[in-house]
Amino acid sequence: MRLQKEIMSDIIIRKAAAEDVHTIAEIEKASIPQPWSEAAFADALTQENAVTLVAEAGDEILGFITGVFLFDNADIYSVATSEQHRKKGIGASLLQAFFDTLPSEVETVGLEVRESNSAAISLYEKYGFERVGLRKNFYEEPRENAVLYTKKLR
């Protein structure tokens, strides 16, 4: 498992640590209407089957990805980049690093995304995710459908 990967000359992707939780939660809070709490991110770091990675430049966390795996499946729970660092390939690099970090048994990765989140949908489709379903009125504040995606890794 690769835990640290350089994506640009000054940006690395590494496994998240406890001291990253506050910043991760702040990026999430600025990115989505119903963010996870700091406690939820801290809990994810303690789970053996969870993966949380951060993209970092110097001492600044630019974005993160978090998800879980079980047997041959993985689910991405959240991917976010700080507003000033969007559209720089960081989200794409976090996705690839997430795939690279998963155990070899994982064959399929799933996720859900707000129907209106065209930037995320574009990224996921670019990386081979295929739309497989819709959950009507899944999200609240505002109420919105969730689009379900999966990607075959093997």
Output the pLDDT for position 9. 58
Q: E-assigned strands of 58-143?
A: 60-70, 73-81, 108-114, 130-139
**Where are the chain's structural domains?**
4-152
**Mean pLDDT computed over 57-71:** 94
What does pLDDT average to over the chain?
A: 91
Comparing 10 with 52, the larger pLDDT belongs to 52
At 54, list the tokens. Answer: 């951060």
Q: Tell me, what's the pLDDT at 126?
A: 93
**What pLDDT is attached to residue 23?**
96
**Which pTM was predicted?**
0.88
Name which CATH class applies to 4-152.
Answer: alpha beta
Query: Structure tokens of 25?
Result: 């939660």
Other C-beta atoms lying within 10 Å of the C-beta of residue 66: 25
For residue 93, name the pLDDT band (cuts at 50, 70, 90). very high
Query: Catalytic amino acids?
Result: 112, 124
**For the segment 27-37, what is each residue's pLDDT rounded down to a tens digit?**
999 988 888 89
- Residue 80's DSSP bridge partners are 64
Grouping H, G, I as helix, E, B as strand and the rest as coil, residue 67 is: strand
Angle at 130 between CA 143 and CA 117, to 5 degrees: 35
Region 32-44: mean pLDDT is 91
Question: Cis omega before residue 142 (within 30°)?
Answer: yes
Sign (positive or negative) of CA dihedral 83, 8, 89, 67: negative
Residue 20 backbone dihedrals phi, psi, to 5 degrees: -90, -15
